Amino acid sequence: MASNPANLWVLLGLGLAGIFLFTKKFKKVLREDFGAFIHKLQLLPPPQPAPPKAPHPLTGLTFAVSDLFDIEGYVTGFGHPDWAKTHEAASRTSVVVSTLVEGGATCVGKTVIDELAYSITGENKHYGTPTNPVEPARVPGGSSSGAAVAVAANLVDFSLGVDTVGGVRVPAGFCGIIGFRPSYGAISKIGVLPVSVSLDTVGWFAKDPNILRRVGHVLLQSAFGGQRSPRQIIMADDCFQLLKIPVDRIAQVVVKSTEKHFGRQLLKHEILDVYLNSKVPSLKEFHNKKTNGEVKTSSIRLLANVMQLLHRYEFRSNHEEWINTVKPILEPNLSAQMNEIMELSDAEIELCKSIREEMRSAINSLLKEHLEKKTHCTSILICDDGILVVPTTAYLPPKLGGKEILSEEYQSSSFGLLSIASLSGCCQVTVPLGYYNKCPVSVSLIARHGSDRFLLDTVQTMYKTLQEQAETYVNSKSSNKDSRENSAEMAKEKGNQAFKEQQWQKAISYYNEAIKLNDKNATYYSNRAAAYLELGSFQHAEADCSNAINLDKKNVKAYLRRGTAREMLGYYKDAIEDFKYALVLEPTNKRASLSAERLQKVFAAGY
């Protein structure tokens, strides 16, 4: 039976419509999970124990894991398709994932990481870069980018990542959530792909500090108990000077929150550069090897170098055989760093390891408090309840595809801050503090090695107040700005009234006041120029008009007044250009037309 052409067209139309709907639905799915996941799956917890036994501690919570954690039956992809192609599916689930599932949580998927978990940008050309839910035009941060995005987008209650040189702390900061890097060795790494064995830690993300703490108690195998309060909170003042946003935006929030919770007496200030120079003697030797002692470099920037060298050396040691055998196409920056490491001597690596050991001792010592208890004899009580406060990163999240993140300044300042916990092995938590220019900002709290539970307790105690103080700070700044702008407008109106009354000097005084309060308003400069013209102060008038035009290229009055000032100063050609430009903006402006025509005749006559 012959096919009816009309029916064929109908079928074709239905087919195309189906493809369109499928494509639309597929795009919606991608958009809804923000590109965070590589595999969706489900690992269900065991049945709840019968009463009177307590339910599982993580009951009702869902979580995702970075594609570094083994899950039985799935290939651990390591952020690169060639790795996935050359490795078998895992035969066992990693200890940390099994522990969480047995604790009552449901694992729902594996998430995107940076290529070979190496970078801190969060970008991955092979699987796509997960979308930062807070600021889609910015990078999500890495290496555990998908895990952070899954939490920030409310797709899961918490997630797992690996923090080597910032892999949990950076994406937490860039996505506006909490990220915890535990003490080195505190969490089992069995069934987790190694990146840099002496720096790797299993960390986790959450939005809720209570969930962060619940996960911590399960993974750290510690029972809930009485919370300890910090005995000292140390602000690393020189670290805050590395910030590329106003220092007070973070520092004052922490100070106010500390004062509210614990009192001002707990606050201390430290110049970390000076402290580390005295407590980490191998840094001087490292500095001399790098610069021949000719250039003064801060200890924080030197630590960034040390951490990066260890990271690269240990990464290459772990994966050199695979790289040489498979010859995968790697990011140019990664390839360059692998080649650079080949030039390192054993002595340089040993020096880096010495610095790492000295760092642990130095930071632990800084966060101890020696309390004298005077009885019939004097004794010393040592408390480990100190907190070191530093910025998480120096920068706001860079734009997608931007080169800023590869610059020497970015790497040096960011890795310097991140190296404090990575090299000392101490625990660190990233806490969000709202936004600056629509981008998330955060602060980091560091506690001694082994003080993980204490740090989790401190975050839970301070979190709400930190958020309130961040909001108060932003609102007060906004309120101050509004108040200054309103006062500036009032001063301008008084100046206008004085101008109408031909009190030129008085008008200038009011316009001066308006400009002091708000120097970004073109009208204030233009109005003051008008008063200067009346007084015959033509140079002042010209300067004010130029300021007004720089602020507002379409300010016709500023062009007219500058033209007048230049005419009186004898700058006829420049004056003609000003009047002509005013005509471009307002073709019917008679004053501009007549002035330009008159000056052209004067100019043509040779004056």
- Contact (Cβ atoms closer than 8 angstroms) between residue 162 and residue 200: yes
Residue 21 has pLDDT above 70, yes or no: no
Q: What is the pTM of this model?
A: 0.76
Q: What is the DSSP letter of 607?
A: -
Task: Work out the average pLDDT over 379-396.
Answer: 80
Tens of pLDDT, residue by residue over 441-461, are: 999 999 999 999 999 999 999
In the predicted model, what is the mean pLDDT of residues 347-365? 95
Say which amino acid occupies 131: T
Chain mean pLDDT for the chain? 89
pLDDT at 380 over 70: no
pLDDT of residue 2: 44
Pick from 202-211, 279-288, 545-554 the range whose average pLDDT is largest.
202-211
Residues 385, 230: contact at Cβ < 8 Å?
Answer: yes
Question: Span 333-341, mean pLDDT?
Answer: 81
Confidence of residue 487 (pLDDT cuts 50, 70, 90): confident
For the chain, percent of residues with pLDDT exceeding 70: 89
Task: Please give the pLDDT value at position 480.
Answer: 64
Residue 485's alpha-carbon distances to 330, 378, 482, 498, in angstroms, are 53, 61, 5, 20
Q: What is the pLDDT of residue 220?
A: 95
| Residue 18's pLDDT band (cuts 50, 70, 90) | very low
Distances (CA, A) of 128 to 65, 78, 123: 17, 14, 7
Starting at the edge strand found earlier in the chain, the sheet holding 439-447 runs 37-43, 106-111, 62-66, 158-163, 201-206, 178-181, 427-436, 439-447, 386-391, 232-236, 267-270
For residue 67, the Cα-to-chain-centroid distance in whole angstroms is 22
**Stretch among 25-34, 190-199, 265-274, 319-328 having the lowest mean pLDDT:** 25-34
CA distance 392 to 250: 10
**Is 540:516 a contact under the CB 8 Å cutoff?**
no
Of 341-345, 374-378, 570-574, where does the model show the most confidence?
570-574
What's the CA dihedral at 3, 4, 6, 9 to 10 degrees? 0
307 or 385, which is more confident?
307
- pLDDT score of 3 more than 50: no
pLDDT at residue 373 is higher than 50: no
- The pair of three-digit structure tokens given for residue 483, joined into one six-digit string: 């108040």
For residue range 504-542, what is the model confidence (pLDDT) as tens digits? 999 999 999 999 999 999 999 999 999 999 999 999 999
